[in-house]
């Protein structure tokens, strides 16, 4: 079966972060979309610090992928919503540990609130099963 292809066209500016401008999914691949993953721990506790929420969010992303028999390589698109300024050095540390160098496409938005008042970040995954 074909594989997922990630591309940054030379006719465009380089990405401003660790993502791919284009992610091509082969015909016939299954599509799996997750709800936004948040910074709760296994007991449902939400830390106050955004970096601690980021740590928990990435752990939850790993768990939700594994629950569907997927890996980080299956992720084709990530949507990130944050209610305060992201510490990019910290997020990219976790991002690079998670994705290594197979970066999915990404959209980021700063918004006024998420579903619970204590949440500061939420990350939704779009995945392809090839």
Please give the pLDDT value at position 1: 63
Share of the chain above pLDDT 70, in %: 99
Question: What pLDDT, on the 0 to 100 scale, is given for residue 101?
Answer: 87
pLDDT digits (tens, 9 = 90+) for 84-108: 999 999 999 999 999 998 899 999 9
> What value does the mean pLDDT take over residues 58-87?
97
Give me the domains of the chain, ranges plus CATH numbers. Answer: 32-129 (3.30.1330.40)
Cα(41)–Cα(20) distance, integer angstroms: 29
CB 4 within 8 A of CB 77: no
| Strands of the chain, DSSP E | 5-7, 22-24, 30-33, 37-38, 75-82, 105-110, 121-129
Mean pLDDT of 2-9: 94
Mean pLDDT of the chain: 96
């Amino acid at each position: 079966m074909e594989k997922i292809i990630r591309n940054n066209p030379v006719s465009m500016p380089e990405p401003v972060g660790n993502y791919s401008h284009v992610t091509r999914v082969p015909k016939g691949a299954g599509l799996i979309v997750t709800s936004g993953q948040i910074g709760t721990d296994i007991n449902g506790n939400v830390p106050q610090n955004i970096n601690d929420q980021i740590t928990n969010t990435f752990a939850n992303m790993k768990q939700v992928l594994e629950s569907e028999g997927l890996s980080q390589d299956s992720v084709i698109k990530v949507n990130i919503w944050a209610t305060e300024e992201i510490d990019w050095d910290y997020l990219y540390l976790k991002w690079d540990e998670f994705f290594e160098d197979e970066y999915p496409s990404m959209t980021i938005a700063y918004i006024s609130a998420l579903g619970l008042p204590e949440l500061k970040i939420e990350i939704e995954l779009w995945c392809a099963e090839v």
